[in-house]
Amino acid sequence: MRLLDKRLLVVTGKGGVGKSAVASALALHSARSGKRTLLCEINAADRLTSLLGKPVGPELSLVEDNLWAVNVRPEEALREYALMVLKFKSVYRAVFENRLVRYFLRFVPSVSELVMLGKVLFHVKETQGGAPRYEVVVMDAPATGHAISFLQVPQVLLDTVATGPLWTEAKWMRDLLVDPKATAAVLVSLPEEMPVNETLELEDALRKKVKVGTALVVLNGYTSPRFDERDLQALGGTALHAVAKNHFDRAQLSLDSRGRLERAVAAPVATVPRLYEQTRGPPMVEKVADALARALESAP
């Protein structure tokens, strides 16, 4: 099953590995492959606006052909959800803008996580004229530890509340998340020992605790070999030797990291070359998208 046949791609990984850039690039790739795609950022400090070069806010907005983006935040998600349940704005105001209720809702376990996840999953289910409104939803999920607890919220809620509307909501969300045909994780890693270790642990935890399988590992910041042993010998004890040796070691580590990931995870590993120029924002995302497109074409 191809990656873009999934309905929801959960992009996650250790903090600082380039999750948002990879999520943006993946969404771009999906849109350009002809899929109506929605990219969702979860209660983040708006990384997408600078990465995509178009304003991304709490309302869905069109970024380019076939690509929409939204920053899902708890207040707006709660309001939208409550309005869906309650139907009337006046009722919403009377109840949810009540100061005591606001206090109280903060402490019903994980309400904000639930409504944010609910919004993303709602868009996965959403249809228009009988067809899915968005064929692929890419979620720029929280980092490692937070991602696990975020995705577990429906299950935690099912264990906490016995019946009622919250239970019903949690139930369909959980079912959609654990459906391997609909949902898959995309893990972002770096070619270093510790990040790879964490990726392997994350893959394991997602599979065992959340019941979400990994469909792709993106190895970001990959260094391809440049120097060989002969070069190093030729450089002898010069200061350049240290420079070349460092590159040589990083290339070796990149290769090893890729090998470890390929052996341990039953999913293709796409490498994204390390970027050196001061590229940020859209040009950087374009480069990552190109690299992903190449890697996905050659993937089995």
Q: Rule CB under 8 A: which residues touch another protein?
A: 14-17, 43-45, 47, 82, 85-86, 91, 94-95, 98-101, 103-104, 106-110, 112-113, 142-146, 149, 152-153, 156, 159-167, 192-194, 197-198, 226-227, 231, 234-235, 238-244, 246-247, 249, 276-278, 280
CB of 59 to another protein, least distance (A): 21
CB of 257 to another protein, least distance (A): 12
Which residues partner with 69 through β-bridges?
39, 61
CB of 130 to another protein, least distance (A): 30
**CA angle at 170 for the pair 168 and 176, rounded to the nearest 5°:** 105
Where b means 16+ CB within 10 Å and e means fewer, 213-231 reads bbbbbbbbbbbeeebeeee
CB of 5 to another protein, least distance (A): 31
CB of 15 or CB of 259, closer to another protein: 15
Is-contact 220 190, C-beta < 8 A?
yes
Distance between CA atoms of residues 205 and 202, nearest Å = 5
| Helix (H) and strand (E) counts in the chain | 12, 10
CB of 220 to another protein, least distance (A): 12
What are the DSSP calls for 105-154, one per residue?
HTTSTTHHHHHHHHHHHHHHH-EETTEES-SEEEEEPPPHHHHHHHHHHH
300 C-beta neighbours (distance < 10 Å), count:
3
CB of 280 or CB of 294, closer to another protein: 280
CB of 4 or CB of 143, closer to another protein: 143
Distance between CA atoms of residues 132 and 27, nearest Å = 16
CA torsion 182-186-187-191 (nearest 10°) is: 150
CB of 3 or CB of 143, closer to another protein: 143
Is-contact 181 213, C-beta < 8 A?
no
DSSP 8-state code for residue 274: P
CB of 143 or CB of 176, closer to another protein: 143
Amino acid at 13: G
Among 42, 232, 184, 57, which Cα is nearest to 120's?
42
CB of 17 to another protein, least distance (A): 7
CB of 66 or CB of 189, closer to another protein: 189
CB of 153 or CB of 176, closer to another protein: 153
CB of 137 to another protein, least distance (A): 21
CB of 258 to another protein, least distance (A): 18
Phi, psi torsion values for 188, nearest 5 degrees: -105, 135
CB of 1 or CB of 276, closer to another protein: 276
